[in-house]
Structure 1
Amino acid sequence: MQFIYLHGFASSPQSAKAVYLRDRFAAVHQTLQVPDLNQDDFTQLTLTRQLQQVSAQLPTDEPVTLIGSSFGGLTAAWLAEQYPQVQKLVLLAPAFAFLSHWLPQLGTEKIQQWQQQRYLMVYHYGEKRSLPLSYEFARDVPQYNDDHLLRPVPTLIIHGIHDEVIPIQVSRDFAVKRSWVQLIEVDSDHALGNVMPETWQAIQTFCQLQ
């Protein structure tokens, strides 16, 4: 089994979660691959580009467990839908219905400005600075309808009940319609920073890591 971690939107392989989980996997003698989904070009990021990048790295003859955080979780879910070698999913506060929650936070005026000027300045936590994001990002996401995620891949979702970015109700709605999804609700926010030991324990159990 190969393990691949997909970081979140405007994040990086050096994020606190990525580093923590990579260390935990190493402690049980497993390698956690953490590709850089920014590809040195955050400006042209789209969900389609992330899917193409990761799918090219999937082995053809070995099962894979994908662990995805937020937008990386959404990416992981779509990869599992399309590639049979993805045998298990761990989704940390997955960004289902991403645009419907993110765009209202920007406000109508900022969205119109983004459309007209084609680029929006977004704070990038990995780079610790604001970077331009093409409007193509917003045009690309709607072609992926979460309702079409129906391949029965054993899935563990861990989601904070105080998530201020992607409400936990999104994961509840996703899980209730899919018998193969296990949802663990934790006393945390979107980052899950205060529950990482519990998160690791759940991942260890789900992935049968000794």
Structure 2
Amino acid sequence: MKQYIYLHGFASSPQSAKAQDIGKRFAQISAQLTIPDLNAGGFSQLTITRQIQQVAAIFPDDSVPITLIGSSLGGLTAAHLGQQYLQVERLVLLAPAFGFLSHWLPKMGEEAMQIWQKEGNYPVYHYGEGRSLPLSYNFVTDAAQYQEDLLQRPIPTLILHGKQDEVIPVTASRDFAYSRPWVELVELDSDHALGNVTQEIWQAIRLFCQLPEGGKI
């Protein structure tokens, strides 16, 4: 039996709008979608390495094929899990955070970066908590090792990315898909949240994963 796991985005939670929407649609077709809380262990000590280890720990035995659905930083995490674990047979990436540091850090400004590096922590607004929480600079040093050029395993991959994405530009996904013929990129008329295209997202996931009809909300 196949297993489906959803990985939420940076400073988000399993209660995010996309996670809940997709989870309800899976439930309507009697398919289980596991949505781990990637804040486990505390947001302040979050790293991509920790996310990879946390998700891998809930993988079933090697005989069970896994489909990972990842949003933003969860999408980047899913891609690296797919590179490392052969039982990951399919990836669905929603506005994946390719080039995350190169897009995010410049918006902070040089002064804020220096303060963060010097003090070791920096307040980041956490949408799941609805407040700012300190994030260790270890997040930056750890994330720097997860480069897209490492992702070369030919896993069937569907990317859904908004053409008006203000956080991770759609060009990041275009560049990723260009040299990887196993990647299908669908560009949607939306922003990073993809909140106005939930039905389109579900139909794309359903067809790509060969799921039964249903899942209408």
Q: TM-score normalized by structure 2?
A: 0.96
- The structure 2 residue matched to 1:107, chosen from 106, 109, 120, is 109
The CA distance in 1 between the partners of 2:204 and 2:52, in whole Å, is: 26
Query: CA shift at 1:144, angstroms?
Result: 1.3
Structure 2: distance between partners of 1:112 and 1:46: 19
3-state SS, counterpart of residue 183 of structure 1:
strand
Asked if 2 retains the 8 angstrom alpha-carbon contact of 1:91 and 1:157, the reply is yes
- Partner amino acid, structure 2, of 1:56: A
Hey, what's the Cα distance between the residues in 2 that align with 1:75 and 1:96? 10
> In structure 2, what residue type is equivalent to 1:12?
S
| Secondary structure of the structure 1 residue equivalent to 2:197 | helix
User: 1: CA distance between counterparts of 2:48 and 2:40?
Assistant: 13
Q: CA deviation at 1:59?
A: 1.4
Q: Which residue of 2 aligns with 1:129?
A: 131
Write the distance in 1 (CA, Å) between the matches of 2:41 and 2:176: 32
Structure 2: distance between partners of 1:194 and 1:145: 30
- Residue type of the partner of 2:186? I
Is the Cα contact below 8 Å between 1:59 and 1:85 reproduced in 2? Answer: no
**Equivalent residue in structure 1 for 2:201, among 187, 196, 199:** 199
Contact 1:2 / 1:64 at 8 angstroms: preserved in 2?
yes
TM-score (structure 1 length as normaliser): 0.99
Deviations 1:142-188 (A, max 9, x none): 11111110000000000000000000000000001000000000000
Whole-angstrom CA distance in 2 between matches of 1:40 and 1:192: 28
Q: Contact 1:5–1:32 at 8 Å: present in 2 too? A: yes
Is 1:17 the equivalent of 2:18? yes
**Partners in 2 of 1:9 and 1:182 — Cα distance?**
24
What are the superposed Cα offsets for residues 22-80 of structure 1, whole Å, 9 maximum, x if unpaired? 00000111011000000050000000000010011111220000000000000000000
TM superposition outliers: structure 1 runs of 4+ over 2 Å: none
1:142 aligns with 2:158: no
Q: Measure, in 1, the Cα distance between the counterparts of 2:116 and 2:176.
A: 30
Counterpart of 2:79 in structure 1 is: 77
1:56 maps to what in 2? 57
Structure 2 unaligned regions, length at least 5: 213-217
Distance 2:3 2:118 in 1: 43
User: Aligned partner of 2:48: which letter?
Assistant: L
1:30 corresponds to: 31
The residue aligned with 1:184 is 186
Match of 1:46 in 2: 47
Cα distance per residue 1:115-164 (max 9 Å; x no partner): 01100100000000000000000010111111110000000000000000
Matched residues, number: 210
Structure-1 separation of matches of 2:165 and 2:147: 22
Separation (CA, whole Å) in 2 of partners of 1:115 and 1:153: 36
Match of 2:215 in 1: none
Q: Is the 8 A contact 1:13 1:35 kept in 2?
A: yes
Distance, in Å, in 2 between the alignment partners of 1:190 and 1:117 is 30
